[in-house]
């Protein structure tokens, strides 16, 4: 008898898991309360930067490791998706104004510490900046260049994954709000990938002694059209009040982010946040002052108290839960979902489950 598997949550993780299971010929259906374009998912407003070195300054070692694995995995994944996806691997650039030089010294110290004394960054002088980013010529005297980093167009990724699921004839039930209990009436296994939407289910009493509570971290991101500006890679501005990144997409679209607020409010962005994002953008180059604001969007990033993702499973309930990717969704999702798929295939086939995934190192946490 063929076992039937349901994916609950059609954001980035849900689509990636459904796609990988479908590739293996596993019968799967996807359910999401939002639409096919993913506009209710946290991934929809993300800049989709693949920046494990830059993020290592604040991220945990586990997240940095997952990010490095995922950079290579994205190359393979995008090659298997037939729909066009903008992707770039021109590195990323860290810049600062002269008065903020101490922030750059501190950033470089953290970078070395995260890389155990190594130096993943190249120091660029004014001439290097002028050569590689001509429109920043004269704006910054020094910069740090991280050559291994890249980015994607996140909305194109969500669309390409939906197209791939259609090609594999995976039933995708958009605008279908449901829960694990309802799905268990029809399916053998349920994979819960709802992110912050799974908060009440995730935070139920658990026999895992180290169980981590799920909460939402509010993020606000601006998207602008600036036909006079061209950047060849993501640029991060170090600033004492509002450090930000600018991720250039196709056709002179720029994604600017991101605030990080301990709040579970999903209200529209505040005036203060909008001013901070756009003021910092203007500080990178005054030409951004003429950009058209396309949107300032908000969403909640699903976060656990240790800031690492978790994969949990319940043999009795035949349930797998994947959550806690925080602000690193695009950066780490290929490694996390690949580990989840390896667990799911073991469970479906009745095989023994190891304590952790032997490739990603992520623990598999039993709920009973």
User: Topology of domain 5-51+154-208+306-366, per CATH?
Assistant: FAD/NAD(P)-binding domain (3.50.50)
Predicted confidence (pLDDT) per residue in 45-102, tens digit: 999 999 999 999 999 999 999 999 999 999 999 999 999 999 999 999 999 999 999 9
With cut-offs at 50, 70 and 90, classify the pLDDT of residue 248: very high
* Secondary structure of 30-47 as H, E, C letters: EECCCCCCCCCCHHHHCC
Contact 364, 343 (CB under 8 A): yes
Residue at token pair 């529209």: 268
Predicted confidence (pLDDT) per residue in 3-29, tens digit: 899 999 999 999 999 999 999 999 999
pLDDT at 118 exceeding the cut of 80? no
| pTM greater than 0.75 (yes/no) | yes
pLDDT at 153 exceeding the cut of 90? yes
Number of other CB atoms surrounding residue 51 within 10 Å? 25
């Amino acid at each position: 008898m063929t076992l039937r598997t349901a994916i609950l949550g059609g954001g980035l993780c849900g689509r990636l898991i459904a796609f990988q299971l479908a590739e293996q010929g596993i019968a799967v259906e996807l359910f999401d309360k939002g639409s096919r374009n993913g506009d209710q998912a946290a991934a929809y407003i993300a800049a989709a930067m693949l920046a494990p070195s830059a993020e290592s300054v604040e991220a945990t070692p586990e997240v940095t490791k997952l990010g490095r694995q995922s950079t290579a995995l994205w190359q393979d994944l995008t090659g298997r998706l037939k729909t066009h996806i903008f992707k770039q691997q021109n590195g990323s650039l860290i810049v600062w104004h002269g008065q903020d030089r101490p922030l750059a010294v501190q950033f470089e110290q953290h970078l070395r510490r995260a890389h155990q004394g190594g130096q993943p960054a190249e120091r660029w002088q004014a001439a290097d900046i002028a050569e590689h980013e001509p429109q920043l010529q004269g704006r910054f005297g020094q910069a740090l260049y991280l050559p291994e980093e890249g980015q994607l167009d996140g909305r194109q990724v969500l669309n390409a994954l939906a197209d791939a699921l259609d090609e594999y004839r995976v039933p995708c039930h958009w605008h279908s709000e449901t829960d694990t209990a309802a799905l268990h009436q029809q399916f053998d296994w349920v994979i819960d990938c709802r992110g912050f939407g799974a908060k009440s289910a995730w935070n139920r009493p658990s026999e895992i002694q180290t169980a981590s509570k799920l909460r939402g971290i509010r993020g606000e991101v601006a998207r602008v059209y600036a036909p006079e500006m061209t950047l060849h890679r993501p640029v991060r501005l170090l600033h004492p009040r509002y450090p930000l990144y600018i991720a250039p997409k196709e056709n002179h679209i720029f994604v600017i982010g991101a605030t990080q607020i301990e709040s579970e409010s999903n209200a529209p962005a505040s005036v203060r946040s909008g001013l901070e994002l756009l003021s910092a953008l203007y500080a990178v180059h005054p030409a951004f002052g003429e950009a058209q604001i396309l949107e300032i969007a908000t969403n909640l990033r699903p976060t656990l108290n240790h800031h690492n993702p978790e994969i949990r499973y319940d043999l009795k309930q035949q349930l797998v839960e994947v959550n806690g990717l925080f602000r690193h969704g695009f950066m780490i999702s290929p490694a996390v979902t690949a580990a989840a798929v390896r667990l799911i295939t073991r469970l479906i086939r009745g095989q023994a489950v190891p304590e952790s995934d032997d490739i990603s190192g992520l623990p598999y946490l039993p709920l009973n």
